[in-house]
Amino acid sequence: MSRNYGSFVDFLFGKDKPVIEGKGYVRDRYADFFLKLKKNLFDFVYNENLSPSQCSPSLTFARLYKKYNGGFYRERTADETLRDSQVINDVSIGSVESMILSEYVQADNNTHIMINSWLRRGNCSEPGARLHAELCHAMKFMDDYNGYAYRAITVPAGVYGKKIKTGNLILDKGIMSAFALPQNAIHWMEFWLERNLFCSTPSEFVFFIFDESIHKKKASDELIPDNILINPGELFCISEMIFIEGDDTVQSATLVVLKKALAHDEVVVKDIYSGNILHLN
């Protein structure tokens, strides 16, 4: 199936050949040219000498996602490893020691389920309401995190790209966890989500990049040292959405870049998981 490429990154990392639109154009006539162009651009982008400052966040993430998986995590250069340690140190300095935070981060207990079931679905749960109040109180003492953060989720097929598109406003009623390091979001997707440990229906993988404009909290924990939390009900605007075609080494995934929604943005708000329109009070 042909894909209309909406961005340079989508063109570069999508598998299909771009469609040439316009009267009198024949797709096959230009196929070789675009494949050669794509190969040259792909080789340039994968040049290790291309610094992160020369890449957009989406391009940097896409490069990392397609990079060789040297075990559980993507291979990192010495400079990248140093930057990673600096990020972790920054997150840990601004965090607080909290029993409720540790309980929330632990994926093998029901704390995060009770809190977010109460927030997202309105499930009547006295423990959920109480735990939510405790966690929100702890978050007040956490420092703000001003860098990019990354999150991996699964959604029903067709939500992103069909029901939810670039420019839309989306919202999660629950507390979202994210990572300050992109490779940890990738690892979370590949280790947990691919094994369907958190989903039971056919789904697609989605990565979120939260930019600097979004309010985030440093929530470092012994289990996840680069853990970031985002308050429930934060309103996001989708600034970019690209599709990364999978291959023998990685699954296909949609990459969604989010920014803080402004007052003049469109007023229709959609659920971040389903794409359904939310009726907010």
pLDDT level of residue 106 (50, 70, 90 thresholds): confident
Rounded Cα–Cα distance for residues 115 and 126 (Å):
10
Tens of pLDDT along 234-277? 999 999 999 998 888 888 999 999 999 987 666 899 999 999 99
Highest mean pLDDT among 4-8, 126-130, 143-147: 143-147
153 is written with which tokens?
């989720």
pLDDT level of residue 88 (50, 70, 90 thresholds): very high
Rounded Cα–Cα distance for residues 218 and 78 (Å):
25
Tens of pLDDT along 13-61? 555 444 434 444 444 444 555 555 544 555 444 445 555 555 788 988 9
The one-letter amino acid at 64: L
Say what the alpha-carbon torsion angle 121, 125, 129, 135 is, to the nearest 10 degrees. -80
Q: What is the pLDDT of residue 70?
A: 65
CB atoms within 10 A of CB 239: 17
Beta strands 217-218 and 227-230, pairing class:
antiparallel
For residues 143 and 95, is the Cβ–Cβ distance under 8 A?
A: yes
Q: What is the pLDDT of residue 18?
A: 42
More confident position, 197 or 264: 264
Walk me through the domains of the chain, giving residue ranges and CATH numbers. Answer: 72-271 (3.90.176.10)
% residues pLDDT > 70 (the chain): 73
Q: Where is average pLDDT lowest: 30-39, 197-206, 223-232, 256-265?
A: 30-39
Q: In Å, how far are 39, 52, 90, 160, 194 from 251, measured between CA atoms?
A: 21, 24, 31, 16, 9
Beta strands 203-210 and 176-179, pairing class:
unpaired
